[in-house]
Amino acid sequence: MNTRKIALVAGTVLLVVVGVWKWRSGAGSAGPDGKRPAAPGGGPAAMPAPAVEAMVIQPQPFTDEVKLTGQITADESIDVRTEVSGRVKTISFREGGDVNAGQLLVKLVDDDLVARRSKLEQQRQLDVKRAERLKAMKSVDGVSQEELETAQAQAAMRTAEVAEIDAQIAKTEVRAPFRGRVGLRQISVGAIVGPSTRITTLTSLGALNVDVAVPERYVGTVSVGSQLRLRLRSADTSERIATVSAIEPVLDERTRTQRLRARISSSNGISAGMFADVLLRRATMNDAILVPAESVVQDMNGATVYRVRSGRAEAALVSIGARTMTHVQITAGLAAGDTIVTSGILFVKPGKPVKATVR
Q: 300: domain CATH number?
A: 2.40.420.20
Residues 55 and 28 in one domain: no
Whether the pLDDT of residue 237 is over 80: the answer is no
* Cα 159 to Cα 153: distance, rounded to the nearest angstrom: 10
For residues 24 and 57, membership in a common domain is answered with no
On whether residue 323 sits in a domain, the answer given is yes
Q: Are residue 350 and residue 291 in the same domain, yes or no?
A: yes
Same domain? For 298 and 339 the reply is yes
Pairing of strands 104-108, 77-80: unpaired
Look over the chain and give the mean of its residue pLDDT values, rounded to a whole number: 85
Residue 308 has pLDDT above 60, yes or no: yes
Residues 320 and 296 in one domain: yes
Q: Are residues 122 and 151 in the same domain?
A: yes
Does residue 297 lie in a domain region? yes
The Cα–Cα gap between 254 and 199 comes to 34
Provide DSSP, 65-101.
Answer: EEEEEEEEEESSEEEE--SS-EEEEEE---TT-EE-T
Asked, for residue 246, whether it belongs to a domain, the answer is: no
The answer to whether residue 208 sits within a structural domain is no
Average pLDDT over residues 42-65: 79
The total number of structural domains that make up the chain: 3
Entry pTM: 0.64
Cβ neighbours for 310, distance < 8 A, ≥ 6 positions apart: none
DSSP character string of 154-199: HHHHHHHHHHHHHHHHHTTEEE-SSSEEE------TT-EE-TT---
Domain presence at residue 238: no
Tell me the C-alpha distance between 269 and 232, whole Å: 10
153 found inside a domain: yes
Evaluated on CA atoms 264, 270, 271, 273, the torsion sign reads: negative
Give residue-wise pLDDT tens across range 183-227: 999 999 999 999 999 999 999 988 899 999 999 988 888 889 988
Buried b / exposed e across 136-170, counting CB within 10 Å, b at 16+? eebeeeebeeeebeebbebbeebeebbeebeebee
Question: Is there a single domain that holds both residue 291 and residue 351?
Answer: yes
pLDDT at 336 over 70: yes
One domain for residues 56 and 17: no
- SS3 label, residue 290: strand
> What is the domain extent for residue 158?
110-171
- Residue ending a domain, choose from 152, 171, 190: 171
Do 55 and 7 fall into the same domain? no
Asked if 175 and 92 touch (Cβ cutoff 8 Å), the reply is no
Looking at the fold, whether 119 and 58 belong to one and the same domain comes out as no
Asked if residue 3 is part of any domain, the answer here is yes
Segment 78-101 mean pLDDT: 95
Give a yes or no: residue 312 inside a domain: yes
258-289: per-residue pLDDT in tens? 999 999 988 888 888 899 999 888 778 888 89
Which strands sit side by side in the sheet containing 180-182, from one edge to the other?
Answer: 77-80, 200-203, 180-182, 98-99
